[in-house]
């Protein structure tokens, strides 16, 4: 099997981001200091998706945290899409029902080449650490657009803790992504669509 890796760079007047990704990794994560809470969430994503992820990011944090968070979502989505290549042998679909203490969230993805995003996350606090909570859905929507995937979040129990809600989303996405990008040995070499292309 060929290596499913990608290196993506994104440079604007607002941010400079480089991401190296290996979909068949061990969950190793490295990151340049930027947004502490988002860095923690990306580390969880790498660990639970079992992908190797190296993130080097700079942004205009003197303005706010919007540009860097959005562009990280875009660049990570592009890296995932690039690493998937022709998507031959792909499971394609992934889903998780994830508990995080009192929080319970359902997450589902389809790496089928089309974008859709549905999310009922409603933050109760303005920030967690140094990150604006309103940017969490924006990060995932930006990722889904760039990765050309369907991504759904549905809270069955929103719980009481903002950190738990966000962590559940990242872990749920990670576990769903891990399932969706897995190679099915029974259909190795075939595209997971009756259309013959995704």
Q: Give the mean pLDDT of the chain.
A: 94
Q: What is the 3-state secondary structure (H, E, C) of the chain?
A: CCCCEEEEEEECCCEEEEEEEECCCCCCEEECCCCHHHHHHHHHHHHHHCCEEEEEEEECCCCCCHHHHHHHHHHHHHHHHHHHCCCCCECCEEEEEEEECCEEEEEEEECCCCCEEEECCCCCCCEECCEECCHHHHHHHHHHHHHCCEEEEEEEECCCCHHHHHHHHHHHHHHHHHHHCCECHHHCCCCCCCCCCC
- pLDDT of 141 reads 98
Q: How far is CA 45 from the centre of its chain?
A: 7
Domain-embedded: residue 96: yes
Whether residue 52 is contained in a domain is answered as yes
Residue 197 lies in a domain: no
Q: Mean pLDDT, to the nearest integer, of 21-38?
A: 91
pLDDT in tens, 73-94: 999 999 999 999 999 999 999 9
Identify the pLDDT of residue 190: 78
**Given a cut of 80, is residue 33 above it in pLDDT?**
no
For 148, other C-beta atoms within 10 Å of its C-beta total 18
Question: What is the pLDDT, as a whole number, of residue 25?
Answer: 97
Provide the CATH number for the domain around residue 128: 3.30.230.40
Per-residue pLDDT band at 1 (split at 50, 70, 90): low
Structural domain includes residue 181:
yes
Whether 194 maps to a domain, the answer reads no
Percent of the chain with pLDDT over 90: 83
> Which domain covers residue 53, as residue numbers?
5-187
Give the chain's end-to-end CA distance (angstroms, integer). 19
Write the CB contacts of 164 (distance below 8 Å, at least 6 apart in sequence): 100, 101, 102, 103
pLDDT on residue 179: 98
**Helix, strand, coil tally for the chain in percent (to 5):** 35, 30, 35
pLDDT digits (tens, 9 = 90+) for 133-189: 999 999 999 999 999 999 999 999 999 999 999 999 999 999 999 999 999 888 777
Contact 20, 83 (CB under 8 A): no
pLDDT at 194 over 90: no
Residue at 193 is within a domain = no
What is d(CA 123, CA 127) in angstroms, rounded to the nearest whole number?
Answer: 9
State the total domains in the chain. 1
Residue 57 forms part of a structural domain = yes
Residue located via tokens 């129990």: 157
For range 88-116, the mean pLDDT: 97
DSSP letter, residue 120? -
**Verdict on whether the full-model pTM lies above 0.85:** yes
Mean pLDDT, to the nearest integer, of 21-25? Answer: 98
Report the pLDDT averaged over residues 87-115. 96
Burial of 117 (0-12, 13-18, 19+ CB in 10 A): middle
Is position 113 within any domain? yes
């Amino acid at each position: 099997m060929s290596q499913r890796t990608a290196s993506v760079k994104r440079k604007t007047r607002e941010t400079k981001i480089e991401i190296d990704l290996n979909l068949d990794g061990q969950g190793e994560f490295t990151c340049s200091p930027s947004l502490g809470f988002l860095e923690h969430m990306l580390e969880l994503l790498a660990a639970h998706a079992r992908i190797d992820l190296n993130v080097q990011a700079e942004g205009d944090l003197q303005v706010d945290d919007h540009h860097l968070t959005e562009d990280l979502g875009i660049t990570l989505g592009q890296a995932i899409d690039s690493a998937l290549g022709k998507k031959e042998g792909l499971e394609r679909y992934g889903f998780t029902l994830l508990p995080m203490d009192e929080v319970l969230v359902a997450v589902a993805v389809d790496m089928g080449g089309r974008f859709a995003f549905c999310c009922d996350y409603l933050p109760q606090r303005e920030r967690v650490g140094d990150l604006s909570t309103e940017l969490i859905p924006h990060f995932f929507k930006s990722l889904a657009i760039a990765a050309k995937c369907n991504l759904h979040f549905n809270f069955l129990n929103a719980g009481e803790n903002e950190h738990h809600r966000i962590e559940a989303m990242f872990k749920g996405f990670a576990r769903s992504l891990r399932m969706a990008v897995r190679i099915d040995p029974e259909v190795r070499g075939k595209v997971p669509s009756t259309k013959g292309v995704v």
